[in-house]
Chains A and B, each alone.
Chain A
């Protein structure tokens, strides 16, 4: 293949950085919407790693998995936003530290 080739390592470093950002967001943010967004970032970083690996080895598997992740993310967001609506209605807040009634 000719043209500019981005080394795989760079992409993987980018994916790892994205994943860490998402993870930090998940652990540190208290708002449930931001937590969901961080989750999306993490999913997408994993998808990016798959695509890059697929391109590197010239296999279609990476893109197939990307499509799978995309649909999983869509479903997850659909359910997640539904829950967010319910939480907002019942607790009048989106702060997850306030919503801790399900405990032993």
Chain B
């Protein structure tokens, strides 16, 4: 019996139960349902993965036909190959750990039930996204995770700022989603199907490499990916999305949803291979985003915003990998990033949880001895993020950088950009570690994380360390450009850069050999600090270019100029009524007399005309 449908079914069932309970379910039961359903899904994924690894066959399951209009017949059907299994494992595995962690993190929240309902719904939608065998079902999951992201970013909706952040996340990703919907329409009209495998086969037989149509179609899909994965120029929503609870940031805005764009491109890689200019664009978007976000992360002082910019930057690496044709390396980095970034977010959440919701890193400090588990988690996570040798991030990022070097045309430039990004990554991650966990204590923690929080942290630590040795079942599923025959100098430089970053961070933020304070205090330093703190003022730019003109147009239109004509008719009729109503006096004799005079007048006119 094919049990694929069970995987999204468990979280969906649990979400439904939690929603129907209307928040009156006891916490213990809600926690059991919420985390347990994801755990069951994870077990199902393990079983599916074992079958796949043993037999190496793609597993498919058609549940029913969703819509049947002429030859447009998308089905509710699943398609599970190596790529899907990697994604499902990350979603359910990391997802389960985060759900477990959430039980303790959210225990005192009054909307405990609602939280788990949203989270389970998200997991179900995300699973649907990666398991879909056609692009329309994928789009359903895509929008589903968007809605859940909106609901969870605005989870503490009583603060209007959180609602604003949620709206921003929704609207900005909607820009990309619109492009993606157009892409789907174009693909369907041109290729006649949305089933991914059939579509790619048709595309390969009808289109040549470099044709215009595949370039347009993939560019539209790329628009969707850019929006969802928070890449330039649609990245502005992710830092604000940190308004949600921290485990949400770990699950949705680091490990799973934001990597959906990477998955989309990898899933449709044959289309993208037909459009080399789009792939070039993917690579350059990746490099520019990773640099921009890394510079911004240097200047932030909110612990979650640093991690958010770091996420944008790391997804930039994944885009770079996809753009240079290293699809498997991109997915590999997606997985290791899910491990270490979830670890970092959960550790940051533990710090925030234990320090009365303190977000500012300059009011932390000296937590090394006070929160040892969190410290080691953060250290390991940062090491993997900075790609220090032998951590998981090292293997994936190294593969990406080396493949970038071999990219035809401007390979070395892409490589240099990635390398500079790696240096910055290392500096900002260890800046975070040194400021938060070393130095003088500023705020005393008022509690220690319990086992539900430490357990996931420790497991994720292990994954972040050994994740680099996993062999992903991607051979034959995704092409991967090798990086053989590169001079060893390039390799050594790639390895040494993060270590250099660590040393710089040590000198600047811990050793105090170089005074960072005087650097920042100088006028140009201050200007630069401000510029980066505001994320290159891109929010401001969009505000001036888009938001404000839009608002003034709506302001102008709110008086409804088109309605003026109709309103004028109403006004004239009213005015006439006001005048004419005085004629109706109720005097019967007055009416009779008027009729007589009218009659006389008419007669006079008729007689005059007759003569």
Are B587 and A97 in contact, with the CB atoms below 8 A? yes
User: Within the complex, what minimum Cβ distance (angstroms) separates A79 from chain B?
Assistant: 15
A96 within 8 A of partner (CB): yes
* Interface residues of chain B: helix, strand, loop or mixed (majority): helix
User: Within the complex, what minimum Cβ distance (angstroms) separates A61 from chain B?
Assistant: 23
What's the Cα separation between A2 and B412 when bound, in Å? 134
Are B588 and A27 in contact, with the CB atoms below 8 A? no
Contacts of A30 on B, CB cut-off 8 Å?
A: 589
What's the Cα separation between A89 and B580 when bound, in Å? 31
Are A101 and B589 in contact, with the CB atoms below 8 A? no
B611 within 8 A of partner (CB): no
Are A27 and B582 in contact, with the CB atoms below 8 A? no
Are B585 and A23 in contact, with the CB atoms below 8 A? no
B592 within 8 A of partner (CB): yes
Contacts of A3 on B, CB cut-off 8 Å?
A: none
Nearest-neighbor residue (CB-CB) of A39 within chain B: B592
What's the Cα separation between A30 and B584 when bound, in Å? 18
What's the Cα separation between A28 and B593 when bound, in Å? 9
Within 8 A of B (CB), among A50-104: 96-97, 99-104
Nearest-neighbor residue (CB-CB) of B597 within chain A: A27
The interface bits of chain B over 596-609 (1 if a CB of A lies within 8 angstroms of the residue's CB, else 0) are 10000000000000
B22 within 8 A of partner (CB): no
Q: How large is the interface on B (under 10, 10 to 19, 20 to 34, 35 or more residues)?
A: 10 to 19
Are B592 and A26 in contact, with the CB atoms below 8 A? yes
What's the Cα separation between A102 and B587 when bound, in Å? 8
What's the Cα separation between A35 and B593 when bound, in Å? 12
Nearest-neighbor residue (CB-CB) of A38 within chain B: B592
Within 8 A of A (CB), among B559-611: 580-589, 592-593, 596
Cross-interface CB contact of B581 among A26, A97, A104, cutoff 8 Å: A104
Contacts of A27 on B, CB cut-off 8 Å?
A: 589, 592-593, 596
Contacts of A96 on B, CB cut-off 8 Å?
A: 587-589
Contacts of B583 on A, CB cut-off 8 Å?
A: 104
Cross-interface CB contact of B582 among A23, A99, A100, A104, cutoff 8 Å: A104
Between A23, A26, A99, A104, the greatest number of chain B beta carbons within 10 A of the residue's beta carbon is seen for A104
Nearest-neighbor residue (CB-CB) of B593 within chain A: A27
Cross-interface CB contact of B586 among A23, A28, A102, cutoff 8 Å: A102
Nearest-neighbor residue (CB-CB) of A27 within chain B: B593
Are A97 and B582 in contact, with the CB atoms below 8 A? no
What's the Cα separation between A99 and B589 when bound, in Å? 11
Contacts of B588 on A, CB cut-off 8 Å?
A: 35, 96, 99-100
Contacts of A26 on B, CB cut-off 8 Å?
A: 589, 592
Are A100 and B585 in contact, with the CB atoms below 8 A? yes
Are A103 and B596 in contact, with the CB atoms below 8 A? no
Contacts of B593 on A, CB cut-off 8 Å?
A: 27
Within 8 A of A (CB), among B320-365: none
Nearest-neighbor residue (CB-CB) of B578 within chain A: A104
What's the Cα separation between A97 and B587 when bound, in Å? 6
What's the Cα separation between A104 and B578 when bound, in Å? 9
User: Within the complex, what minimum Cβ distance (angstroms) separates B292 from chain A?
Assistant: 72
Are A103 and B592 in contact, with the CB atoms below 8 A? no
Are B586 and A100 in contact, with the CB atoms below 8 A? yes
Within 8 A of B (CB), among A1-32: 23, 26-28, 30
What's the Cα separation between A102 and B584 when bound, in Å? 8
Nearest-neighbor residue (CB-CB) of B599 within chain A: A23
What's the Cα separation between A26 and B583 when bound, in Å? 20
Contacts of B589 on A, CB cut-off 8 Å?
A: 26-28, 30, 35, 96-97
Nearest-neighbor residue (CB-CB) of B582 within chain A: A104
Contacts of B596 on A, CB cut-off 8 Å?
A: 23, 27
Nearest-neighbor residue (CB-CB) of A32 within chain B: B588
Contacts of A102 on B, CB cut-off 8 Å?
A: 584, 586
Contacts of A100 on B, CB cut-off 8 Å?
A: 585-588
Chain A: residues with CB nearer than 8 A to chain B? 23, 26-28, 30, 35, 96-97, 99-104
16 A-B pairs within 8 Å (CB atoms) are namely A26-B589, A26-B592, A27-B593, A30-B589, A35-B588, A35-B589, A35-B592, A96-B589, A97-B589, A100-B588, A102-B586, A103-B585, A104-B580, A104-B582, A104-B583, A104-B585
Q: Which 8 A-B pairs have the closest CB atoms?
A: A103-B586, A100-B586, A104-B581, A104-B584, A96-B588, A102-B586, A103-B585, A27-B593
A27-B592, A35-B589 provided; 12 other pairs, C-beta below 8 A?
A: A23-B596, A27-B589, A35-B588, A96-B588, A97-B587, A99-B586, A100-B585, A100-B587, A101-B586, A104-B580, A104-B582, A104-B585
